[in-house]
Amino acid sequence: MEFTEERLSRYSRHILLKDIGIKGQQKLAKGRVLIVGVGGLGSPVALYLAAAGVGVIGIADADVVDLSNLQRQIIHFTPDVGKPKVVSAARKIAELNPDVTVVPHEEFLTAENAAAIIRNYDFVVDGTDSFPAKYLINDACVFERKPFSHGGILRFNGQTMTVIPHETACYRCVFPTPPPKGVVPTCAEAGVLGAIAGMLGTIQAAETLKFLTGAGTLLTNTVLTFDALDMTFRKISVKRNPRCPICGKTPSLVELRDEEPAVCDFSPKGAP
Amino acid sequence: MKITVNGVATAFDAAPSVADVLSADNIALKGAVSVQVNGEFVDEGGYTETVLNDGDELDYLFFLGGGSRR
Ligand SMILES: [Zn+2]
């Protein structure tokens, strides 16, 4: 990318950073990132990556903007209700930064299409709200050896980990199989403070930008978890699990499949 | 004896199993958490038989979904 006066000005605060600079900004311009789910987490991720000048941003989502989304899905505005989320998000990204190429994938990731979509990108951000989708992203990224950021939110809590497949712990190393039915509620069932999506999404965005530029140390082999009610943040070290069903010593998962969606209809005692 | 549970030193009268520590924290439902003892994952099947020693560290993590609606 040519650094015109305009671009030098647009990205000046990045260029000032010694860990980014012109070189890092060029890496961002060459970066290709897939955001799966442009909802609570995907919204801030998409906005910050677009603002940062990430060259290609893919967004995969087959959903339509609903009024109940607007409390936290900040890329979508009131007039967008009823529009496909990829259309709404693509317009905001284009307005925010014309340097960015948006690739809309107006579909949900499935065992059939995941590998082919993921393959086109350097890094994947999990912004989904279902365990089948989270496991699918993990598995597809492990099979494709594609680094990704896992993220989850609920109520006042957030949790995230960055995964470099076959090098650092994956989601299944920590949680080998999806939770049994009824054990873990989703945001739609238990609620979530809107700003929590922003807190976690911006951490995922920062990890993505660090990955693309090589700045700092990634949140690999580490789960960052926070409780916004008392603002406690905790980092828990994890390591690759030899019994991991996908990246362990004797993996039982050898091809991509969709996990059964769990029916979650109550909130467990002691859950976050 | 003291066990460090999620970073907090916690007193137990007798050596607790992983299951005891979880139930002391009101985690009733199996499969809701991922457990590490001294940095090693403990599978759910081993919660009762894995007994902790004074000074051990137990960390558990909840499953968190959330993000985009689907
Ligand atoms: Zn693994």
Range A192-204 average pLDDT: 97
Q: What residue ranges do the domains of chain A occupy?
A: 31-237
CATH of span A31-237: 3.40.50.720
B62 pLDDT tier (thresholds 50, 70, 90): confident
Residues 6 or more apart whose Cβ sits within 8 Å of residue A261: A130, A131, A132
User: Which chain A residues are within 8 Å of B64, Cβ to Cβ?
Assistant: 152-154, 157-159, 184, 225, 272
* Residue A130: predicted pLDDT: 86
**Distance (Å, whole) CA A53 – CA A48:** 9
Nearest beta carbon to residue A270 from set B28, B43, B67: B28
Predicted ipTM of the assembly: 0.86
pTM: 0.92
Tokens 């957030």 -> residue: A158
Residue A227 reports pLDDT greater than 90: yes
Sheet with A32-36, edge to edge strand ranges = A101-105, A56-60, A32-36, A123-126, A148-154, A157-163, A222-227, A232-237
A2 pLDDT tier (thresholds 50, 70, 90): confident
CB atoms A157 and B67 under 8 Å: no
> Is the Cβ–Cβ distance between A39 and A70 less than 8 Å?
no
**Distance (Å, whole) CA B4 – CA B54:** 9
The number of CA neighbours under 13 Å toward the Cβ of B33 is: 27
> What is the domain class of B2-62 according to CATH?
alpha beta
**Distance (Å, whole) CA A219 – CA A237:** 10
